Amino acid sequence: MNDIAQRIHDIKANLPGNVELVAVSKFHPKEAIMEAYEGGHRVFGESRANELVEKARSLPDDIEWHFIGHLQTNKVSTVVPYVKMIHSVDSERLLIKINNAACDTYRQVDVLLQLHVALEETKFGFTLDEINELLGTGLLDRLNMVKIRGVMGMASNVDDENRIRQDFMAIKSAFDALKVKYFADDNDFNIISMGMSHDYEIAVECGSNMVRIGTTIFGEREY
C-alpha cells in the first residue's frame, strides 16, 4: 500500500462507520489522486472549476467528484456535467443556476446549503434565517434536477477548541431545524458536511457525517 492510500486507510479506520471521507485533492496532481484510487478510494473534492474538469476528463469514470469551494455562477455549467455533489451553495441565484445546468445535461446534482457561522467575514454562506426565507418561498418545488441533501459549514479558523465546537454545534443545530421544518419526510436530507484536516475529529463529535480532508492525506499543496 502506498503512503497516500495508507493515510486514507488510517483515517477511515478511526472514523465512525456512518462518516464519509471526501479526499480533498485540490492543488494536487493526478498521480496523487491515482495513488488514493489504487488504494480503493473513490470520493474526491476539488475547489476550482477548470482543475476539476481537467482531472475528471482524464481520470477513471467511477470517481465521485465533489465541488467544495466557492462556486461562481459563470462556472456552474462547467462543473455540473462532472460533479456528484456541490457542497457550497450560498445563494438562491446559484441554486437556480445549478438546477438549470442540471436540466440542460439531464443529470441530477446533489447540493448542500452552506452555512456561515465562523468569525471570519471572508467565509461564504447563508445564515439560518436566510435559508428559512429561501425555502419558505416554495423554491423546493421548482428544483426538479437538484436534490438538497443537507448542509455544509466551516468552523472559525482559531486555536480555541471551544469556539470550534460551538461553530460545529451551530451547524448541527441548523441542520436539525431544517430537517424538522422542511425535510421531515425526505430521507435523503441527511448530510452534515463539516470538518477538515485540523478539526475533523471535533466535527465528528458534534455530528458531522462527511469530512473533507486534504493536507493530512496529500501533504501541503503542490501547485
pLDDT at position 124 over 90: no
Cell of 188: 435523503
The string of pLDDT tens digits covering residues 44-54 is: 999 999 999 99
Superfamily in which the 3-218 domain is placed by CATH? Alanine racemase (3.20.20.10)
Q: Where are the domains of the chain?
A: 3-218
The string of pLDDT tens digits covering residues 138-157 is: 888 999 999 999 999 999 99
> For the chain, what's the residue count?
223
pTM: 0.96
The string of pLDDT tens digits covering residues 16-56 is: 999 999 999 999 999 999 999 999 999 999 999 999 999 99
Q: How many CB atoms are closer than 10 A to CB 149? A: 23
Average pLDDT over residues 179-192: 97
